[in-house]
Amino acid sequence: MTARILVVDDEQIIIASCLRILAGSEYTIEGVNDGFEALRRIEANPVDIVILDIMMPKIDGVEVLRRIKEEHPDIDVIMITGLSEIETAVKSQVQRFIADMDLVKREDYDALRELVAAQSDDIAQLKKDLAALKAKKKAE
């Protein structure tokens, strides 16, 4: 099963870059440039991983993260930023919502690719384990 990924950034070039670096992998990837649109998409069709910009107009990434985790705590979120000076402040805010959080700089595509691959592998294993449990329960 492929991981479903939603990239959320107000800059189309960043969405395109994420789509490009993850292309060819076994992922289903969509991009949106607005936090509210991201929340609507997730509500209509939940995803496995969200790659989420921190600084966006209308609604910032930390608020989008809070809302995602309230309604869909099982969705993995990777926060991205182009601003290194806000990393510490964001990590402290975000830690209120989740125990572990990955924050990468926008231009660190290797780190982003590795995080997505690791989270995708974890999701695939969880889905296999769940299927095995369901089959075992059905057999009982």
SS3 string, the chain, reads: CCEEEEEECCCHHHHHHHHHHHCCCCEEEEEECCHHHHHHHHHHCCCCEEEEECCCCCCCHHHHHHHHHHHCCCCEEEEEECCHHHHHHHHHHHCCCCCCCEEEECCCHHHHHHHHHHHHHHHHHHHHHHHHHHHHHHHC
- For the cut 50, the answer to whether the pLDDT of residue 124 exceeds it is yes
Output the pLDDT for position 90.
Answer: 55
pLDDT surpassing 60 at residue 14: yes
Round the average pLDDT of the chain to a whole number and report it.
78
pLDDT number for residue 47: 93
Quick one: pLDDT band at residue 91, thresholds 50, 70, 90?
low
What is the set of domains in the chain, with CATH numbers? 3-139 (3.40.50.2300)
Q: For residue range 22-77, what is the model confidence (pLDDT) as tens digits? A: 887 788 899 999 999 999 999 999 899 899 888 888 998 888 998 998 899 888 88
Block residue for tokens 């107009």:
57
Report residue 100's pLDDT band, with 50, 70 and 90 as the boundaries.
very low
Strands of 102-105's sheet in order across: 27-32, 3-8, 49-53, 76-81, 102-105
Q: Does residue 125 register a pLDDT over 80?
A: no
